[in-house]
Structure 1
Amino acid sequence: MKMQLHALPFDSQIRVLKAVDDQIITAKIQTALVQHESMQHAFIHVQTFAGGVELTGWVSKAAQKQLAVALAADIQGVSYVVNNLSVRG
């Protein structure tokens, strides 16, 4: 029995690769946020699309808001960061 492989059209392959890149960027940012001791007591949702990152949620201090943007922007592949974090505290 022969298995037939169907290749995706080139533009679909690019969309798949971009989606994978976005997932990797999101995961790296989430890891950086969780591992940074200054980001305790923060609830941050990270969404990435085509290298652009949006941070939503809340932090307990204004300095955490700035730090979250810096951590996200430092990840390879990030083209810009939109900061929609609120300070609760």
Structure 2
Amino acid sequence: MHDIVRKNQVNRFKGKLSEGSLFIIKNLKVVESIGGYRPVENSLNFFSFTSTTIKDLYEDIVDIPKKGFHFIKPDMIDSRVNNNTVLSS
């Protein structure tokens, strides 16, 4: 999922989240993605507020891969020509 953080809140959250880790995040708002570009293939975003809290779960509950990719069929690649809604690499 993609989080939207206001510019004045960036320093508060910077360095608190790390890929492949688990967190409890409270006091946020989940909304449908709008706009022309998405950094992840998900139809939802969440907004962080000044009241949003993040708690790191240090237990090794689940092994979450740090990097991932999806195999797709060639016709899917063709359908993405000139369609930049979902950014992919």
- Asked which structure has the greater RCO (Cα within 8 Å, sep 6+), the reply is 2
Fold shared, TM-score > 0.5 on shorter chain? no
TM-score, length of structure 1 as denominator length: 0.20
Write 1 or 2 for the structure with the bigger share of strand. 2
Normalising to structure 2: TM-score of the pair? Answer: 0.20
- Say which one has the larger Rg: 1
